[in-house]
A and B are shown apart, each in its own frame.
Chain A
Amino acid sequence: MQVFITSPISLERHLHRASVFARRVILIEDQVETSGAFVLHHLIKRSLSIESSEIVIFVALSKPFSHYDRILRKLGCNLVAQRENGKFIFIDMLKLECPDGDEGNGVGGGLIDLYRKIQKFVEVNASTSPELNRCITVMMDDLSLLEVAAKGSSTYVLDFLHYCHTLTSENGCSLVVLNHSDIYSSKTGSTLILQMEYLADVVVQAEPLVTGLATDVHGQLTVLNKGAIDEHGGVRSKLHNFHFKVKENSVEYFYPGSRA
């Protein structure tokens, strides 16, 4: 731990030691006051970087493509070009709505269609270039909106998540999901977030500072890495805690109190 204090902390170290191995589930949790979307942007950028051959399937429920395009451009990643290359697949689900009533296959229909779409992309990519063995990352920018689209039936959303989870084990995809933790804080019927936390290998929580907002410190990040391998070769979960400051082209991470 002491080693990091002198050197600038990189989120890479804590997140990606995990996701070097595929088949990871990363859950990002945030709150009304502090958005955790920057972790998502960081992961997109990293997955689409030149040295990695990953493919990102992005299911957008809360923000349109133009929003991500502008942000990622500032981070040094051209989403339009990546989309044309086929490395970035953007599924616009802003208008996702599961029809209620008896026609079609009911509330779950919309989610089943969405899963089929994702599955098709995964299979196409797996079949076209099996020798490359490209890693596929499925990202979802707001899971709570999926619940809204399913009219609150979290069973369907859970089913959907479990299907997506099988993708990680069968096809070696990784899954990155953003959700809001404060929605579920009232302890009543919040199986969704508990199940997500159970499935996740890495949980990243973005929280505001208890002392309020500051210009130098935008919030606190807690990274729980469940599958970290320690020096003795044993598997144990590791908890890291640091503060962050979001900038247009990067995010600064530092230990609490190390910033004057």
Chain B
Amino acid sequence: MAATRSRTSSFSRNQSTSPLSQIPGIKPGPNGVTYVSSGIPDLDKILGGGFPLGSLVMIMEDAEAPHHLLLLRNFMSQGLVHNQPLLYVSPSKDPRAFLGTLPSPVLSKDEKSRGSIDQEQEKGLRIAWQYKKYFGENQQNSDRNATEYCNEFDLRKPLERHILNAQRIECFSIQESPSLSAFRDRCSSFVTQTSRKDGGTISPGRIAIQSFCAPQCCYSEMEWDMLSFIMSLKSMVRSSNAVAVITFPPSLLSSSFSKRWQHMADTLLAVRAIPDEDKELAKLLTGYQDMVGFLHVHKVAQINTQVPVILEATTFSIKLQRRRSLVLERLNQAPVDGSSGSSHDVSGSCSGGSKSSILDF
């Protein structure tokens, strides 16, 4: 014990003393930022911890496929698992119906597999027993945080009823409110509720707005009003304990408005589906058959800092592992087939193909 304690530098932050770390679902980050999980463990890792509290996350939708819903569902489910209040806004007539499609967390099996991993490590470490204490401590810490902070979700299993019923979930259909001011009032009342401290504990609120500029909302004539709504939502969220996620189809906006929307976002993601039978891409990428789409990270939130976050890769493949859990992976270029000829080789490695030029490795 004394050995492990002396190992930690006096300059490192003592995480256990921070009151925030005791609340599940919240993780302190650098620069006084507090993270909540996005519901996808890989995305949390990519973004350096998750979505910062007080930030506005925007997801650009694919025009043809509902991949943004994968991210939105996991984000909402994760909040419900952590017992956080949720405001869901949708252009559909009956937003509550969407709650039935939320995935449920993987629990028992996950813990089992984790246990087996521990056992394996135990065996492997017997040889280098003197390093065991180092490994053991780290492993335990990260494990405990991981299980509490971010769950894996089984997309095939719907969230259990009792979780849905126990929560403070507000649903709102944009279709029913032709003016944005009612919508804004709804958001501001939700945000003020979450910023109030209930018995000393802070439970961060999550706002999920689906397909904000969809034609059903009848806001298509009100481009500036939508922008000003986003601006006020951003300032509302910034001064509170909430995260807002907005998905929008950029193809419905003119290019300059789409840029304006993108500038509003603290964290900007884009999802894109991949065509079913794209032979070019299939040759280019390994594991193509498991992929359902791509995730682009355009911008990572820069709160309280001027240093931009530079990721190793900005494009990730979205995969469904064993058809149930969502996994993000960096793109791996397939080994070039020798028989395919040199001309194809060149076009492949430079990603010069017309379809793959949008990807970067």
Tell me if A183 and B260 are in contact (CB < 8 A). Answer: yes
> What distance in Å separates the Cβ of B251 from its nearest Cβ neighbour in chain A?
15
Complex Cα–Cα for A181 and B303 (A): 22
Residues on the B chain within 8 Å of A35, using CB: 302, 306, 308
Determine whether A2 belongs to the interface, using a CB cutoff of 8 Å to chain B: no
Within 8 A of B (CB), among A31-69: 32-35, 37-38, 41, 64, 66-67
Determine whether A184 belongs to the interface, using a CB cutoff of 8 Å to chain B: yes
Determine whether B31 belongs to the interface, using a CB cutoff of 8 Å to chain A: yes
A94-B238, A148-B227, A149-B231 given; A70·B263 CB < 8 A: no
Tell me if A246 and B262 are in contact (CB < 8 A). Answer: no
Tell me if B259 and A148 are in contact (CB < 8 A). Answer: no
Within 8 A of B (CB), among A172-189: 180, 182-186, 188
> What distance in Å separates the Cβ of A222 from its nearest Cβ neighbour in chain B?
18
Tell me if A184 and B307 are in contact (CB < 8 A). Answer: no
Complex Cα–Cα for A51 and B311 (A): 39
Determine whether A20 belongs to the interface, using a CB cutoff of 8 Å to chain B: no
**How many chain A residues touch the partner (CB < 8 A)?**
39
Tell me if A148 and B308 are in contact (CB < 8 A). Answer: no
Residues on the B chain within 8 Å of A70, using CB: 31-32, 304-305
Tell me if B298 and A213 are in contact (CB < 8 A). Answer: no
Determine whether A127 belongs to the interface, using a CB cutoff of 8 Å to chain B: no
Residue of A nearest to B262 (CB): A32
Complex Cα–Cα for A27 and B308 (A): 21
Determine whether A230 belongs to the interface, using a CB cutoff of 8 Å to chain B: no
Complex Cα–Cα for A35 and B305 (A): 12
Complex Cα–Cα for A185 and B258 (A): 12
Residues on the A chain within 8 Å of B256, using CB: 183-186, 188, 190
Determine whether B255 belongs to the interface, using a CB cutoff of 8 Å to chain A: yes
Tell me if B304 and A33 are in contact (CB < 8 A). Answer: no
A70-B32, A97-B228, A213-B314 given; A148·B304 CB < 8 A: no
1/0 per residue, CB under 8 A from A, across B304-323: the answer is 11111011001000000000
Tell me if A145 and B231 are in contact (CB < 8 A). Answer: yes
Within 8 A of A (CB), among B191-211: none
Residues on the B chain within 8 Å of A95, using CB: 232, 235
Of A34, A148, A185, A248, the most chain B CB neighbours within 10 A belong to A148
Tell me if B310 and A214 are in contact (CB < 8 A). Answer: yes
Residues on the A chain within 8 Å of B310, using CB: 213-215, 218
Of B238, B259, B314, the most chain A CB neighbours within 10 A belong to B259
Residues on the B chain within 8 Å of A213, using CB: 310-311, 314
Complex Cα–Cα for A218 and B311 (A): 11
1/0 per residue, CB under 8 A from A, across B323-361: the answer is 000000000000000000000000000000000000010
User: Can you list 10 A-B contacts with CB-CB less than 8 angstroms, sorted by A residue number?
Assistant: A32-B299, A144-B260, A145-B231, A148-B231, A151-B224, A151-B228, A152-B224, A212-B314, A213-B311, A248-B307
Residues of B within 8 A of A (CB): 31-32, 223-225, 227-228, 231-232, 235, 238-239, 254-256, 259-260, 262-263, 268, 298-299, 302-308, 310-311, 314, 360
